[in-house]
Structure 1
Amino acid sequence: MAKDVNRRLADLKSRRRGNSTVVMDSAYATASNRSEKFETRSTKQWAKYALGIMQEVDPTYTRNSVAEGERVKSQISNRVDRDIKFEYQGSVPLNVHIRGVSDIDILVLLGQYLTIDTQGVRANTAAYSDWVGPSGIDQLAALRNELEVALKAAYPAADVDITKDKAIALSGGSLARSVDVVPSHWHDSATYQVSQNKRDREVKIYQKNTHNTFLNRPFLHIDKINEKETYTRGGAKKIIRMLKNLKADSDNPTAILINSYEIAGLVYHFESSSMSVPVYNELALVAVAKQQLTRLIDSKLWAMGLNTPDGIRKIIDSEAKFNSIKLLRDEVSELGKNLAIELTSRYWMDDLETLKALRESYIAE
């Protein structure tokens, strides 16, 4: 951890508030100038930083990210001549994003086409009819082409990157946020056919490079993390944001190969009881994060067998990613040491003393 705490706080504020030159409304400008609550809860710099990396981004910025997504959706609706539907996925709707100008992911779904699990209870009923027309893959390829043309026309001054496999990436120009547009269609799983609950509905996302699709469960992922959040009284998302911020502030973020989705997946498997702490004891979550990451490291076989919350795949699927857990744990450990020393006004503390100081910490609400 080469960056000192003042540099970290400055980077955190910049990240949370964003550096966009586009002001979407007066509330945006107001939020940029005021102090956030975490900055007033302590006079100690490491405590401010630790509190700040756990908190949600100001709702003003989140609303502006969604507003930019709505603007892109409107442009697509006006320019693409086919029946389509929209859904959001990713960190913004889950509220674990760490940037004031966070990217937003939009699923663009075929409106008249879906696939089903043929073993589902509704598969051979009047709920579904046989499709007569172009294949789903061909429709998605056509939709991808239409979206590329439409978005280039709608945003001539922006960077419209059409080279990516799964998404068309928009940034710059009149856009205050980066937006990923993802062609896809619904897939009604056997579970969804019974529950009719959106969390169980799957999507198939088009891959341009291979002219194929892959299965995704974005709403189940969101629902599972939200359940964990409820069980932990808000602790789960605070730790997810903490780990994402620590990765961003590390000396070499690209060496930590675990992405946002995987960080959320790991925290999902943390012990719920340990993450449930009162607000005045929030700094204890730094100790919790270290202990739970250590638990993963000490139980490698178990850790590498853990599935993502949506059950799609293994979270840690390589040695490099497993080693990334160690790098992330090192970041948490160093934060904990600096924080405990600051809280106790001591010059040095061992690991057990550090954990004790964090567990017993108190910060006014």
Structure 2
Amino acid sequence: MARSLDERLARLRSRRMDAQNTILGSQGFGEAYEKRTSNKATRYALGAMQEVDPRSTQISLEEAEKVERNLTDGLKAENLYPDFRLQGSVPLNVHIRGASDVDLLVIEGVYVRIEACQGSLKSYSPYLGRGTLVDDVLYLRSKSENVLERRFWGATVDKTPAKSIQLSDGGFRRKVDVVPANWLDTSGYQQTLDEAKRGVQIVNKYTREHISNYPFVYIAEIKSKALQTNEGARMGIRLAKNIKNDAEADIGLSSYDIGSLIYHCPNEYIMHQIARDLMVLSGVEQWFDELSRDYTRASSFMTPDGTRRILDGKAKWDGLVKLSSELTELARSVERELASPYDYMPVDRETLRKRLKENSIPLAPDLVGGGYRF
């Protein structure tokens, strides 16, 4: 870990505190995890696993709702009535402040792409759009850009990204990525009407490439993994994302890649128990260490939606190796803090992980007049 623990703790605390909490922070108020230990590495590990302040999450949702409300109203004049859905880290509650944008899908509300299906529970009208669905999505994008520029004239409305419109500054408390798309009704969706099985297609505005995505499959699968591990999976994803964000070296894994890798982690590695948070650190470190030593195995894993291999390029393999090293260094730092400073001797990885798994850190009591809990 090239950055000092003091620097990492400061970065973590800064990310996790909204502007309204800075005064409290300066007066010594803090989060519950900060009260559980005075050891720096352990405090960083605990904080990196925690969900963000519920108010911070609510702000992200409010910003998405603000954009949705203005688009809904502004697009009516163009006879456009899109659907809206959130995708990405925020609806999964694995977002980290300062590194997670809000992704808002703006979905063409009339025409869909349909997979061939026997026994469909839905009926569809003939396509009567503007030529192709690509044309419809690009038209929706153009009109959305106009509305956003008029409604948020004081903000930065970046229209240059190929697949989204990015909103920031000018009163936006979070960056919001607006992603125009059309529905992709898979055979699985038509047979069940379960939206988790429904896809979307987005368009590269420069190449007109039509790209199929299945964000709701990903959300459903990660939520299922979290349920199976008593929230250990979500804790592990946040931990790995924070470590990536605080590393000095560039780690070429996206949030989606990190979540996908932890999705394949054996449940017993990351099963969370009350006051045994370090079990998750131990399990995530072990999993990434195993993968970093076995390229064939690591490169065989598919994303939860089954559309591609997670490590689909050299940069991602290199990123996994770097992240594994960072995790191991943090685990060793935490283990050193658990041992007696007077007779500490380096231990092998098996012993290191065993000590982390067996350690219990008491939960902080409710803070009355002395802090705030996330």
**1:249 aligns to what?**
246
Is residue 63–residue 173 contact of structure 2 (8 Å, CA) maintained in 1?
Answer: yes
1:131 aligns with 2:127: yes
Q: Which residue is 2:64 aligned to?
A: 69
Counterpart of 1:223 in structure 2 is 220
Report deviation, 1:31: 9.2
Q: Which runs of 4+ in 1 moved over 3 A?
A: 27-34
Query: Where do 1:96-135 residues align within 5 Å?
Result: 96-99=94-97, 102-122=100-120, 127-134=123-130, 135=132
User: Judging changes above 3 Å, is the alpha-carbon distance between structure 1 residues 126 and 155 closer, same or farther for their aligned structure 2 residues?
Assistant: closer
Name the structure 2 match of 1:164: 161
Provide the C-alpha distance between the structure 2 equivalents of 1:140 and 1:272, rounded to a whole number of angstroms: 40
Q: CA deviation at 1:302?
A: 2.0
1:175 partner letter: F
Does the 8 A contact of 1:28 with 1:60 survive in 2? no
- Conserved? CA contact 1:101–1:176, under 8 Å: no
CA contact (8 A) 1:6 1:45 kept: yes
Cα distance between partner residues in 1 of 2:241 and 2:338: 24
CA contact (8 A) 1:57 1:100 kept: no
- Give me the whole-angstrom Cα distance separating, in 1, the residues matched to 2:119 and 2:285: 45
2:81 maps to: 83
Question: Aligned runs of 1:190-209 on 2, under 5 Å?
Answer: 190-209=187-206
Deviation at 1:126? 6.8
* Separation in structure 1 between the aligned mates of residue 266 and residue 214 of structure 2, nearest angstrom: 23
Q: 1:92 aligns with which of 86, 90, 93?
A: 90
Instruction: Give the CA deviation at 1:201.
Output: 0.5
3-state SS of 1:281 partner = coil
Alignment match, 1:15: 15
Runs of at least 5 residues in structure 1 that lack an aligned partner in the other structure: none
Q: Deviations over 1:110-158 (max 9, x none)?
A: 1111111023432xx8711211232211111111111111111111221
Give the TM-score, by structure 1 length.
Answer: 0.92
1:45 corresponds, among 33, 40, 45, to 40
Identity level (%): 36
1:3 counterpart SS class = coil
CA RMSD between the two structures: 2.0
Cα pair 2:9 2:44 within 8 Å, conserved: yes
Alpha-carbon distance in structure 1 between the residues aligned to 2:62 and 2:25: 16
Contact 1:229 1:236 in 2 (8 A): yes
**Deviation of 1:318 (Å):** 1.6
The unaligned stretches of length 5 or more in structure 2 are 364-374
Counterpart of 1:354 in structure 2 is: 352
Q: 1:327 aligns with which of 316, 322, 330?
A: 322
Distance in 2 of aligned mates of 1:32 and 1:77: 41
CA distance in 1, matches of 2:272, 2:147: 49
Specify the SS of the correspondent of 1:111: strand
Ranked by relative contact order (alpha carbons within 8 Å, sequence separation 6 or more), the top structure is: 2
Relative to structure 2, which stretch is displaced further, 279-288 or 324-333? 279-288
Distance 1:145 1:120 in 2: 36
Give the letter aligned to residue 35 of structure 1: G
Distance 2:336 2:41 in 1: 10
The change in CA–CA distance for 1:29 and 1:226 in structure 2 (over 3 A counts) is farther
Separation in structure 2 between the aligned mates of residue 174 and residue 277 of structure 1, nearest angstrom: 39
> Aligned-pair distance for 1:206?
1.8
